[in-house]
Amino acid sequence: MNRERIGALFAQALDLPESQRADWLAAQCAGDEATRAEVERLLRADAEVGDFIERSPGLVADAAAAARGSGAPSAFGAWRVLRSIGIGGMGEVWLAERGDDEFEQRVAVKQLAYPTPRLLQRFRQERRILARLEHPHIACLIDGGLDARGIPYLVMEYVEGVPITDYVRERVPELRARLHLFLRVCEAVQYAHQNLVVHRDLKPSNIFVTAGGTPKLLDFGIAKVLTTGEADAPTQTLARLLTPDYAAPEQFSGGAITTATDVYALGVVLYELLADARPRRFAPNDAASAEPPPPSTAITRGTGVAAARRRQLRGDLDRIALAAMARDPARRYPSAEALAADIRRHLDGLPIAARPASAGYRLRKFVVRNWLPLSAAGLLFAAMAVATVAVAWQAGKARLAAQRAEAVQGFLVDLFNKNSTGQKDPAEARQTTVRELLDIGAARIEESLDIAPENKLALLRVFSDLYANGLGDGYPSIPLLQQALALSADLYGEDSVESASDRMRLARPLMEQGKSAEAKALLQAAAGTLDRRGDRTSELRGRLHAAQAYAFLDQDRRRAREEADAAVAVLRKHPPSRDLVRALIYQGWSADGQAAMESLQEAIRVSRAVDGDRDPMLMSAYASLAKLQRNVRDYDAAESAAREALDLSLKDRSEFNYDRTRAMSNIASIQFSGGRIKESLQSARLAKEWLAGPAGGSDNPAISADVLRTLAVTLGAAGEFDDALAEASAAVKILRETTSDSRLAPALLVAAYRLAELGRLPEASAALEEARAIRERTKSASSNGHVPTQIHMALDFGNAQQARVLLEEYPRGDAVGREAEFVSFHRTVLEAEIELQGGDPVKSARLASTLGERMRASDIARYLRPVIADSDLIEGLARLRTGDAAAARPILERALAARIDLYLPKSPRIAEVQLALAECALAQEKRAEAMQWVEQAAAIQAQHSSLSPRYTAPLQRLRERLAQR
C-alpha cells in the first residue's frame, strides 16, 4: 500500500464538499479498492475529531504515517529530531534538541498527524492557550512553525519526569509531603483558570513531576478558553472516547464546561495520591455511581502503615476528596484555589469548609491546634486519677483513697483559681504556660506546711510524673522525688514497700542525668527491701528488674539482658501493663538478632492492647525495631516501622517531644542504606529543619549531633561535598564539647570521608586515626566503616599495595543472610577497583562483570543501585584499559544513567563517568564528543572548593591529551 499516495488523496479529498467525495474517490482509485478503503477510513476518522477528549493512538499513528510518507522527520526548523516519544490525540510528539549550536536545550515537538480543518483549528487553539500561560508548573511554549509540507508543529518545554502518581508512590510516602506537592498542581490549574483556560484533561499522565520534585502540567490540546464571565457552551462528546476515570459527569452529558470540570479531575488525582488507588469507575447512566467511596476505604485492610494511613484520611481528607468529586458541579469546590485552601486548612489544623461547622468539630480542631496551652488542665486533672489509684493501692482503704483524691483535686483547683485571680492582671495570668503552672504548683507543695503528709506525698508524685512525661527540662522532677522519698521514709519506714517504690522512681531521672552510681545504689536498696520481705513475684519486683536492666544497658549488656529477662518473666504473670512493655523493650535493646526483634514486636503488641497508641515508649519500640530491621537489610520493613514511630510522634504535642526529629533522621538513614540517595537527603534536610524548630531537640547534644551526622552522610553521597563537611564538622564540634566518645568516633569517620573526597587527605587521615583511637580506648564494638575510606585514600595516593593490605581488614564472611550478601558485594567492588588501579584490568573487568551479574540477579538488587553503578564504572574503565572501547561504551552509559538518577547534578561522581566516556570517545576517535564530555565534567568539578585526585587527575590528563592534537 502506497502511503504517500494515500496521504495525497486524503488531503485532496478534504478540500472537496462531502457530497462530492465519494464519486471523486471512486474515480481516483479505480481498481485499487485497498487504497480507497484506507482513504475512506481516514475521512471517517477526521469527521469524528470534533470535541473528542481522546483519540485512538492507532488511528493517529496510521494517519501520521500516511501523511508523512516514508521515514521520520529529521528536523523541525532549528530543532534536530532525536526520537519519537509518543502519539497524542492530534499527532506525534518528538524529542528534539537545538541543531544550530546556539545553545543546548532539549524540547518536545508536537506535530499534527494530518492537517484537517478541525485539527488545524484545535492545534491553533492549543498554541494560543500555551502562548498566554507562563507559570513555573506549566510546560511552556518555546517555538512553532510549519514543516516542509506546510504541516504545523509546536515546540514545547521537554519535561523529563514521571506521572505524579508514580512519583509519590516511589518517592513520597509521607502524606503531608504529597499534599504539599498537590497544592503546587492546584496553583498551576488556578493560574490557568484565571487566564480563562479550562484544561479538561487533567490526569496523572498529564501531570509530570521532575526528579527534583517540580510538578508540570502538560498537554493543553483539548483545553477550552472560557468567555469572560460565562461558562463554555454545552459540548456534546462521545462517552466511549472519554477518559472515564477522570472526566467529570458533565463531560459525558454535554453539560457546561466550567472550572468545576477541572476541579473534579483534581479530586480524582487527589484521591489517588491519598489512597494509592483510583476511585470506583464512573458510569454515566448508573445512579449508584454518583458518589465514590471515601479514599480511606480504598486502602487495603491491615495493620501498621495501612492502618495509620486510613486513620489519617478519615474525616477531613475523605470529605475534601469527595467534595471535589461531587457529581453536581454546584456542590464541588468552585475553583482549584478553593480546593487548595481547604487542604491548607487541614494541614494547619483548622476546620475545613467541606465539613459542617458543628461546635464539637470546631472544638476538637481548636484543642489539637492549641494542645500545649490547653494540656495543662487536661494533664493535671488526668494526673488526679493516677494519684487516686496510687493512693488507693498504698493505703488499701476506699475511704482513705477518697480523701486523698479530694485533697489532690482541691489543691489543683485552688492552683488554677489563684493563678487567675491572685495576680494583678488576670489576662496575663491566663497566658501562663504549662511548665510555669507546674513550677508554681511544685513551689507551693514544697512551701506548704498545712498539707497533710500523705496528701503531700501524693502531690509530689503527681507533679514529678508530669515533669517526667515531657513537660520538664533540666530534670526538675529530681528535687520533688527526693522529697517524696524522704517523706515516705518518715511515714512508712526506711524499709517499707512505699520507700522502695520511691527509690525506683528517683533512680530513672538520676540515670538520665548521668548519675548512674547514685541511681544503682537506690535500686540496690530497693532490692534489699524486697528481698527481706521475700517478694520475688510482685509487680513491684518486675518493675525493679526492668529499672536495673535500664541501668546496665550502656555498661553491661549481659547483666542488662538478665535483668530484662527476669522482668519479663515476672510481669507476664500479671495483667498486661506499661511495665511489661518497658521490660520487653529493654529485653530487645539488650538482645541480638531475631530474639531482639521478637521482644520489640511483642512490646508493640502489648502496648497497643493496653494503651492503643498513647504510651510514649511505643515510639521507642518502633524506632528500635526499625534499626534492627535496617541492620539485617530489611529496608522496607525498617522504613515501615520508622514511619509508625513518626506518625506517633506527630500526635504527641508535648513541649519537649523530640521523637519526630529522631524518627525523620532514622528514616533518612534507612533510605540511604537502601540506596535511595535523593529521598534520603530530602528526609535528612527535613530532620534538620525540625531540629531547629519548637520542641525539635536542638538543645539536646546527642540528637543534634546525630541529625547533623546523618545529613552529612546523605549530602556527601548526593554530591554536596562542601556542605557535607560543614555538617559533619558541626556534629564533631558538638560531641567534643559534650565528651560523648561513643558518638564522636562515627562522626569523625563521616568527616574523614568528606575530607578525603575534597582532596584534604592529611586532615582525613588525622580524623580517621582519632576515630580508631577512640574505638580502642572505649573498647566499642568493632566496626570496619573506616576501611573503604582508607582504601580510597590509598588509591588516591597511588598505593594499590597498601589498599590490598587494608582490604584484608574488611570482613569476608562472618555475617549471614542479606548482610552477608551486602558485605560480599561491597568487598568485591573494592577488590575490582584495587585491581584496576594496580595494573590488572583483565582481572578487574572479570571481577566487576561477574559482580554486576550477581547483584542484578539478587532479590535485593533495588537496594544495590549505587554499588551496581560503581561496578559498571569500574568494568567500563577496565575494558577501556584492555583496548575494548566498543564494549566499554554501553557499560559506561549505563553507569552514567544510574548515577544521574541517584545523585544531584553537581555530584563529582557523575563527572567521574563523564570523563570515562570522554576517554572512550577518544579511543574511538570521536574528538568532538570527548571535548563535550570533558567540558561537562569540568563544569561539575568547578562547583566544589576542592576535590580528591581521583576526580581531578582524569580531567587533567584528558585536557592534556586533547591539547596535544
Catalytic residues: 201
- Helix (H), strand (E) at residue 207: strand 207-210
741-757 vs 786-796: helix crossing angle, rounded to 10: 30
Cα–Cα distance for residue pair 916/914, rounded to 1 Å: 5
Cell numbers linked to 213:
520534585
Residue 923 near residue 911, CB atoms below 8 Å: no
Closest CA to 899 of 211, 190, 46: 211
Residues in Cβ contact with 33 at an 8 Å cutoff, skipping those fewer than 6 apart: none
Cell numbers linked to 84:
519519537
Alpha helix locations (H) across 217-287?
Answer: 249-253, 259-275
Closest CA to 702 of 731, 659, 669, 672: 731
Query: 656 by DSSP, 3-state: which?
Result: coil
Q: Counting runs of H as helices and runs of E as strands, what totals does the chain give? A: 42, 11
Query: 80 by DSSP, 3-state: which?
Result: strand
Angle at 532 between CA 529 and CA 535, to 5 degrees: 80
A 10 A CB-CB count for 176 gives 12
Cell numbers linked to 47:
469527521
A 10 A CB-CB count for 461 gives 26
**Which residues are paired to 144 by β-bridges?**
154
- Helix (H), strand (E) at residue 96: strand 91-98
Cα–Cα distance for residue pair 570/576, rounded to 1 Å: 11
Cα–Cα distance for residue pair 965/960, rounded to 1 Å: 9
**Which residues are paired to 145 by β-bridges?**
153
Alpha helix locations (H) across 284-370?
Answer: 305-313, 316-324, 336-347, 359-369
110 is in an annotated binding site: yes
Cα–Cα distance for residue pair 370/460, rounded to 1 Å: 27
Strands (E), 399-534: none
Residue 947 near residue 759, CB atoms below 8 Å: yes
Report residue 640 CA to chain centroid gap.
11
Residue 701 near residue 735, CB atoms below 8 Å: yes
Cα–Cα distance for residue pair 578/618, rounded to 1 Å: 10
Exposed e or buried b for every residue in 394-418, given b needs 16+ CB within 10 A? beeeeeebebbbebbbebbeebbee
Closest CA to 684 of 670, 697, 701: 670
Angle at 797 between CA 795 and CA 803, to 5 degrees: 35
Cα–Cα distance for residue pair 79/95, rounded to 1 Å: 9
CA dihedral sign of residues 896, 899, 905, 906? negative
Strands (E), 137-179: 141-146, 152-157, 161-163
Cα–Cα distance for residue pair 80/483, rounded to 1 Å: 84
Residue 667 near residue 642, CB atoms below 8 Å: yes
Count Cβ atoms within 10 A of the Cβ of residue 835 and give its class: 0-12 exposed, 13-18 middle, 19 or more buried: buried
Q: What residues are designated binding site for ATP?
A: 110
Q: What residues are designated binding site?
A: 110
